[in-house]
Amino acid sequence: MNNPAQAPADGVYFRACNLCEAICGLQFTVRGGQVTDVRGDPQDPLSRGHICPKGTALPDLHADPNRLKKPLRRSLEGGRETWTELEWDEALDDVAGRLRAIQEAHGADAVASFQGNPSVHNSGTLLTAGNFLRALGSKNRFTATSTDQLPHHYAAAEMLGHPLLIPIPDLDRTDFLLMLGANPLTSNGSIMTAPNMRERLKAIRERGGRVVLLDPRRTESAQAASEFHFIRPATDALFLMALLNVIFAEGLEKLGHLSDFADGLAELKTATEPFTPEAVAGHTGIAAEVTRQLARDFAAAPRAVAYGRIGLSVQEFGGLCQWLVNVLNAVTGHFDREGGAMFPRPAFDLLMRAKKGETHHSRYRSRVRGLPEFDGELPNAALTEEILTAGQGQIRALVTMAGNPVLSTPSGHQLGKALETLEFMVSIDPYLNETTRHAHIILPPAYGLETEHYDVIFHHFAVRNTARYNSALFPISAEQRYDHQILDGLTERLTGKSGSAPTARLELGLQHGPYKTSLDDLKAQPHGVDFGPLQPCLPERLLTADGRLKLAPAPLLADLERLHGALEQTPPPLVIIGRRQLRSNNSWMHHIPRLMRGPDRCTLQLHPHDAAGWHTGDLIEVTSRTGRVTVPLEITEDVMQGVACLPHGFGHGDPKTRLGVAADHAGASLNDLTDPERLDTLTGNAALNGTPITVRAKA
């Protein structure tokens, strides 16, 4: 890996941000070895100068005094917990030794892993974690995916043959964006790498197009939409079925070029018959005539695309939702076509060596509850019970990397207690947080501006084909290690073999990729290289066994049974959903003072009807089947009646963490209320949103 020997000289440097999926190109001014200014890089062909407050905080993360740089070991001294620094070799020997001993005594599955979100934003971690996990050889592999985008992967695998073959909106050429369960003005776009969504959505409207948004909360993105409708949580699959019902009933379907290679249209049509707009309106909260008109307009628009993000994934019908979004695009001629849902072609293409017809899910199941595997991982809603339930295959040790599951997974507070029972836990993470504080050893990697950067994952989901490689800006000290060195160090100790360096894999991938480029080519263009707009690529890129597009895969059709069931049920009076915020990054970055200025943000939003007799600022006790939190109230008509809204990622009150100012804005964790029993049973994704709750004023 590229490792500069000394601090950068005074000057201007360019580098993509690694904090979110927007991968903005940024420009850093360095004076006297310090970053004195950060701004968007106007010459980046994808982000064109965009930056958000988190990007501005990258130097703060670099200089943060709370960031760990040397391994730490937790021990008890006189009844008090203390952390002592270790040398790297001793720490890696110790960790590998403990993991191996536990596996020898109890089998490979006794050691579990949890890989969190930032590991996909770090090419070093991403390209070496696989080797390490193979060395462990445990079925108990968990990642953030099953609290996030698993349904997207599931639908892609079933319909197109590969979990990564996810169509994304051709945003810059569409004239009609139908968006559900996404708030890109805050999240900066997800499974749609499209920096500066404010401008991109404005451009749609300026060219005479339309942006329609459906969400249980009138979000920041609603301001950029031409039209907004409230939709009751977890009823999107019903709404999407109703759109399809109208399209088929009125003969508006058109497959275009897909008709040569798409299967399942007839089954699909039959399946939609019961779901008329009238039949679902009482559940969704969307009037039948609105649904009818939207269906007609969407089908008639020359360039239109439906897009559903995490609000459609982290709910009981996640798999159905992501399938139906794809289906809606496909049967209206808006699939693999300009301005519709399209497939990016990244310079380093992880699909290049993918084989046709591979099975990607349900090859084995979790031990306790029998939850399905997906692409080599188990739903993290099963992690706590797999630790606590005795028997052959019980988890006795855990490796976490770049994750904070105590705050990010359903009933994380119960996971926190379960972690105390482990024989051994190690965390690869630069912070002592709510999760890593349970570890016996913490292995902190070098971070951010100290690492080289090529975004391996998000170019697969970008609205334009570009590539960008940037060297590390700052050197690391002799006492620091990169993620990939830590992971390789462990793999080597477990297997006796060292893996190939991530840079070598990157080089190989780029050279054999669709643009036959190389690291040297990319280094020569520090602002990034533009490979142009997305291109149609079906049926060539399909990876199903017979090379055909599956519009009505059997497991998804079968899952409609559950949706019929939902039509029969009365929804609970009050449910809770999450809320992302521009200056937060999931469970972390609340320790950066620059991002925490202003009033506390961890408030419970309630509609005036659900908060009768109370006032903004009152303390409210929120109770679910699994937990209870107390949070200040914010009364607003921006949430739908019957829906409460609390941001996730807070809950920093644990005195055993070292997270600076985060403790001053501790808030409460939404995932103390979410329930590992609430799942999209088809995919195994956690149904975090839509959890039933009750509220009362705190006496």
Residue 447 within binding range of ligand MGD, rule CB under 6 A: yes
Cβ within 8 Å of residue 89, ≥6 positions away: none
148 binds Mo ion (CB under 5 A): yes
Interacting span for ligand MGD (CB under 6 A) from 164-172, 213-221, 461-469, 528-536 = 213-221
Q: Which does 195 bind (CB under 5 to 8 A by kind): ligand MGD, Mo ion, ligand SF4, none?
A: ligand SF4
Q: Burial code of 497-535, b = ≥16 C-beta within 10 A, e = fewer?
A: eebebbbebbbebbeebebebbbebbeebbbbbebeebe
Q: Of all helices (H) and strands (E), which one includes residue 249?
A: helix 236-249
Burial of 609 (0-12, 13-18, 19+ CB in 10 A): exposed
x/- letters, 465..484, toward ligand MGD (CB under 6 A): ------------------x-
Between 471 and 626, whose beta carbon lies closer to ligand SF4?
A: 471
**Residue 549 binding: pick among ligand SF4, ligand MGD, Mo ion, none (C-beta 5-8 Å cut-off by kind):** none
Give the range of 142-150, 370-378, 560-568, 682-690 binding Mo ion by CB under 5 A: 142-150
Q: Which stretch binds ligand MGD (CB under 6 A): 36-44, 200-208, 289-297, 580-588?
A: 580-588
* CB nearer to ligand MGD: pick between 271 and 314: 314
Contact 651, 627 (CB under 8 A): no
Pick the binder of ligand MGD from 13, 14, 17, 20 (CB under 6 A): 20
> Rounded to the nearest whole angstrom, what is the least distance from the CB of residue 640 to ligand MGD in the complex?
9
Distances (CA, A) of 296 to 8, 247, 289, 465, 628: 58, 7, 11, 32, 45
Q: Map residues 92-131 to x or -, x wherever contact with Mo ion holds by CB under 5 A.
A: ----------------------------------------
Name which of 310 and 441 has its Cβ closer to Mo ion.
Answer: 310
**Secondary structure (3-state) at 330:** helix
The pair of structure tokens assigned to 383 is 């992690």
Q: Which residues bind ligand SF4 (CB under 6 A)?
A: 17, 19-20, 22-24, 51-52, 54-55, 188, 195
Instruction: Output phi, psi for 217, to 5 deg.
Output: -125, 135
Piece in contact with ligand MGD (CB under 6 A), picked from 143-151, 258-266, 595-603, 627-635: 143-151
Q: How far apart are CA 204 and CA 21, in angstroms?
A: 21
Interface region with ligand MGD, contact rule CB under 6 A, candidates 296-304, 346-354, 404-412, 454-462: 404-412
Choose which of 113, 384, 584, 626 interacts with ligand MGD (CB under 6 A): 584
Q: Which of 275, 335, 431, 531 binds ligand MGD (CB under 6 A)?
A: 431
The angle, 0 to 180 degrees and rounded to 10, between the axes of the packed helices 236-249 and 554-568 is 110
Do the Cβ atoms of 260 and 236 come closer than 8 Å? no
Bridge-based pairing state of the strands 469-470 and 453-454: antiparallel
> Which one-letter DSSP state was computed for residue 637?
T
Q: Examine residue 217 and tell whether it contacts ligand MGD (CB under 6 A).
A: yes
In the complex, which residue's CB is closest to ligand MGD?
Answer: 311
- Beta bridge mates, 428: 401, 443
CB-CB contact of 255 with 538 (8 Å) = no
What's the min distance (Å) between Cβ of 532 and Mo ion?
28
| Adjacent-strand bridge partners of 38 | 28
Which residues of the chain form contacts with ligand MGD (CB under 6 A)?
Answer: 20, 116-118, 122, 125, 144, 147-148, 180-184, 186-188, 190, 214-217, 219, 231, 233-234, 236, 309-312, 314-315, 401-405, 408, 428-431, 433, 445, 447, 483, 577-578, 580, 582, 584-588, 648-649, 670-671, 674, 688-690
